[in-house]
A and B are shown apart, each in its own frame.
Chain A
Amino acid sequence: MVTATKTKVDQSGDLAVMRFEGDITSTSEEAVLGYYKKLSGDTKKILLDFSKVPYLNSSGIALVIQVLMAASKVPQKVVCFGLSAHFVKVFTMLGLAKYTTLEPDEAAARTAVG
């Protein structure tokens, strides 16, 4: 069965790191959007940690797009890291690289977010 998504948020000043664990699918709305909506109002920079996400389907990617949509309105800068090479390719094919940066690891993501 799909592994339920767990989310942990590490907040430090205006930077929030949303750490996902488990599959991200249509059942992950609370874990992705729910946690995004609860971020501190001071958040200007967001890192999305996919390093413990073994499986994303298109419905899960749609939730990531909804985070990007909401973040763009604030505005907040969003950087993703920890995706496998396959999902970097999928995110790029779907155009998400136009609205977020895809970094290999947290150190690179922290540098990219500024």
Chain B
Amino acid sequence: MIDSPIITELRLPTRLGFEKVAMNTAASVAQIMGFSPDRVDDLKTAVAEACINAIEHGNEMNELLGVVVTLSMDDRSLEVKIRDEGKGVPSDAHIPDIDRKMAGEETPRGMGMFLIQALVDEVEYGQETTGGYARLVIHLDARDEE
């Protein structure tokens, strides 16, 4: 029984590639909590995409800024909050259309937010005085019971 959330926090540089630090840390915490391998993989991809958004769009690749990733675990849920120090990211998760992409009518990119939404249980985007954030949550449930 966890009385108050257990917090793990990372501060990442605004540099592509460092999303892997966050995704692997999130994976380790999720494994400790007992999430199934499938759900851990889902979380890894979602966290990586959210960090990339923070680096590329929130902080606009400005290496003077950082990305703070806070993992908060309790008995049944893991929350991962990714905060940039810039303007945040747009909150609309556009549904990518593969037919339009293949026809050249839509950019091949722009799939990250859709993946985040699809791979975790809750997503919230917002803006604080220090910058923007994405909050991802996964809940332990029947999918994680063997």
A58 CB, min distance to chain B CBs, angstroms: 4
Contact indicator A59/B98 (Cβ below 8 Å): no
Main secondary structure of the interface of B (DSSP, over half): helix
Query: How many chain-B residues does the 8 Å CB contact rule pick out?
Result: 28
Chain B 57-81, CB-CB to A under 8 Å as 1, else 0, gives 0000000000000000000000000
> Given A27-B16, A57-B48, A69-B101, A90–B108 Cβ distance below 8 Å?
no
Main secondary structure of the interface of A (DSSP, over half): helix
Contact indicator B102/A69 (Cβ below 8 Å): yes
* A107 CB-CB contact with B under 8 Å: no
Question: Hey, which bits of chain A sit against chain B, CB under 8 A?
Answer: 1-2, 25-27, 55, 57-59, 61-63, 65-66, 68-69, 72, 84-86, 90, 93-96, 98-99
| 20 new A-B contacts at CB < 8 Å, known A1-B20, A57-B45, A61-B111 | A1-B17, A2-B17, A25-B16, A26-B16, A57-B52, A58-B111, A62-B107, A65-B102, A65-B108, A69-B101, A69-B102, A69-B104, A86-B42, A86-B45, A90-B45, A90-B115, A93-B115, A94-B114, A98-B98, A98-B99
